[in-house]
């Protein structure tokens, strides 16, 4: 396989009018592929060498911060906790929170019902199959580019907020407690998300509700339930390609027993070990833009393994679709001019809708330049005939 790194390409904005009604290739459910006993990875999942998860870089001194946020509600401790959050945002863009107010029993029940959905027969899951017009439902790929390298994972995506686009009829009726559990978890999660946005705003020395105001009147909250099956050749692929989240803030619930999340820090990929009862908080591209680059979104990815499946649930807090997002005026000065061109979140998201997850190419290319150019860290120039085997594809 010949590979070129850091090649450049450009894409037009994806609009509702030019999004196809069907995926560019037949969908292969990764879970079904894994259960079939395939021993060699199909070609469409094989990543260029420069993208693969090779070797262990689990350096203890590079683990992401673990923050007890119970002190946010205590006048005596609040200042100290805010300082920890501010430091984590500036240095990492990723941190774990504990004592966040969501019962551990609910976290475990939420993971359980998510896993039970993927245990259902294929025909029952297929009733919720999604399409390129809306990612809502049961899916196995991101992006609409034909011939794209695919991720080793399936997912279920659904909307929580605003209530005008929340459609519980699209939520699975099985397992029995899916709707009840996801509804309860989403209510807790929404409160936690607003609390974290307020805290992060405060650390920037702007109004506590500055991010909420910048997000617009109708903040978007959506869940993506990820399922990563065992993989016959995990060193050749990824469960989810390296990317930064296009939205504002992500809160991730991990499987307590199986690691898989990795964060790029100081040029190395650092495994994030699950903390029982903990949640991962990471900054998205919109907070990088709103903070005028003071805080930055961070690349992360999901790796897979040969023996165990893994479940995670990501909650994405994003601006209103039509809300124009740019650097906050309080964070723009003569010494720190605006670094990003304002655009609506709908426009911003359109680039990801076309090409899927590709590092930080979008946010790095909106610096005062209306013409978005996307950078692919590794693009395949050719594939060896031996890799043209069979079957297909996939946050």
Lowest mean pLDDT across 22-26, 47-51, 322-326:
22-26
Determine, yes or no, domain membership for 383: yes
Q: How many domains does the chain have?
A: 1
Sign of the CA dihedral running 54, 58, 63, 66? positive
Q: Is the pLDDT of residue 16 over 70?
A: no
Residue 383's Cβ-count burial label (10 Å; 0-12, 13-18, 19+) is middle
Q: Give CA 41 to chain center in angstroms.
A: 24
Task: Specify the higher pLDDT residue, 367 or 392.
Answer: 367
In the sheet that holds 137-139, the strands lie side by side as 66-68, 94-98, 279-283, 249-254, 310-318, 220-228, 154-161, 137-139
**What pLDDT, on the 0 to 100 scale, is given for residue 349?**
80
Q: pTM higher than 0.85 for the full model?
A: yes
Read off the pLDDT band of 388 (50, 70, 90): very low
Lowest mean pLDDT across 76-85, 176-185, 291-300, 363-372:
363-372
Q: How many residues does the chain have?
A: 395
Cα separation, 260 vs 177, whole angstroms = 26
Determine, yes or no, domain membership for 267: yes
Cα separation, 169 vs 348, whole angstroms = 28
What are 244's two structure tokens?
């930064």
Orientation angle between helical segments 178-203 and 104-118, nearest 10 degrees: 130
Q: Which residues pair with 61 in a beta bridge?
A: none
Give the DSSP letter of residue 134: B
Sign of the CA dihedral running 124, 131, 308, 66? negative
Determine, yes or no, domain membership for 147: yes
Q: What is the mean pLDDT of residues 239-243?
A: 94
Domain residues for the domain of 224 are: 3-387
Q: 247, 317 in Cβ contact below 8 A?
A: yes
Read off the pLDDT band of 233 (50, 70, 90): very high
Is omega for the bond preceding 39 within 30 degrees of 0, making it cis? no
Q: Is the pLDDT of residue 353 over 90?
A: no
**What pLDDT, on the 0 to 100 scale, is given for residue 393?**
28
**What pLDDT, on the 0 to 100 scale, is given for residue 356?**
54
Lowest mean pLDDT across 29-43, 198-212, 254-268, 379-393:
379-393
Determine, yes or no, domain membership for 395: no
Phi, psi of 370 (to 5 degrees): -75, -20
Q: Is the pLDDT of residue 367 over 80?
A: no
Phi, psi of 319 (to 5 degrees): -65, 165
Give the DSSP letter of residue 164: T
Is omega for the bond preceding 332 within 30 degrees of 0, making it cis? no
Residue 13's Cβ-count burial label (10 Å; 0-12, 13-18, 19+) is middle
Q: What is the CATH number of the domain that holds 360?
A: 2.60.120.330
**What pLDDT, on the 0 to 100 scale, is given for residue 385?**
30
Determine, yes or no, domain membership for 394: no
254-289 pLDDT, tens digit per residue, is 999 999 999 998 888 989 989 999 999 999 999 999
Determine, yes or no, domain membership for 16: yes
101-112 pLDDT, tens digit per residue, is 999 999 999 999
User: Look-up: residue for tokens 């992360």?
Assistant: 300
**What pLDDT, on the 0 to 100 scale, is given for residue 377?**
38
Q: Give CA 101 to chain center in angstroms.
A: 23
Characterize the bridge pairing of strands 94-98 and 66-68.
Answer: parallel
Determine, yes or no, domain membership for 47: yes
Determine, yes or no, domain membership for 40: yes
Average pLDDT, the chain: 85
Q: Beta-carbon neighbour count of residue 157 at 10 Å?
A: 22
**What pLDDT, on the 0 to 100 scale, is given for residue 376?**
36
Lowest mean pLDDT across 153-157, 165-169, 180-184, 283-287:
165-169
């Amino acid at each position: 396989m010949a590979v070129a790194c850091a090649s450049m390409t450009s894409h037009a904005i994806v609009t509702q009018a030019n999004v196809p009604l069907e995926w560019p290739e037949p969908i292969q459910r990764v879970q079904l592929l894994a259960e079939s006993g395939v021993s060699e990875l199909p070609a469409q999942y094989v990543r260029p060498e420069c993208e693969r998860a090779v070797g262990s870089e689990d350096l203890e001194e590079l683990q992401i911060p673990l923050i007890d946020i119970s002190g946010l509600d205590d006048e005596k401790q609040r200042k100290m906790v805010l300082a920890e959050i501010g430091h984590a945002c500036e240095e990492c863009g990723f941190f774990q929170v504990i004592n966040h107010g969501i019962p551990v029993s609910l976290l475990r029940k939420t993971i359980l019902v998510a896993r039970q959905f993927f245990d259902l027969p294929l025909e029952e899951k297929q009733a919720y199959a999604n399409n390129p017009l809306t990612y809502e439902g049961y899916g196995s790929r991101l992006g609409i580019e034909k011939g794209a390298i695919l991720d080793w994972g399936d997912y279920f995506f659904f909307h929580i907020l605003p209530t005008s686009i929340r459609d519980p009829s699209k939520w699975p009726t099985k397992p029995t407690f899916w709707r009840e559990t996801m509804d309860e978890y989403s209510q807790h999660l929404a409160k936690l998300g607003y609390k974290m946005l307020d805290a992060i705003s405060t650390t920037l020395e702007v109004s506590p509700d500055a991010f909420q105001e910048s997000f617009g009147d109708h903040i978007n909250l959506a869940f993506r339930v990820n399922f990563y099956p065992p993989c016959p050749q995990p060193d050749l692929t990824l469960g989810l390609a390296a990317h930064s989240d296009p939205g504002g803030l992500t809160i991730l619930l991990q499987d307590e027993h199986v690691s898989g999340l990795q964060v790029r820090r100081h040029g190395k990929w650092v495994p994030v070990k699950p903390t029982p009862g903990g949640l991962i908080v990471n900054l998205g591209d919109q907070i990088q833009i709103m903070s005028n680059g003071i805080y930055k979104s961070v690349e992360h990815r999901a790796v897979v393994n040969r023996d165990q499946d893994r479940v995670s649930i990501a909650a994405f807090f994003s601006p209103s679709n039509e809300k124009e997002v740019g650097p906050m005026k309080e964070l723009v000065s003569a010494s720190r001019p605006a670094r990003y061109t304002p655009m609506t979140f709908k426009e911003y998201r359109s680039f990801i809708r076309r090409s899927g997850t590709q590092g930080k190419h979008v946010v790095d290319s909106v610096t005062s330049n209306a013409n978005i150019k996307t950078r692919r860290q590794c693009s395949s120039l050719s594939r060896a005939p031996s890799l043209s085997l069979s079957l297909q594809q996939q946050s």
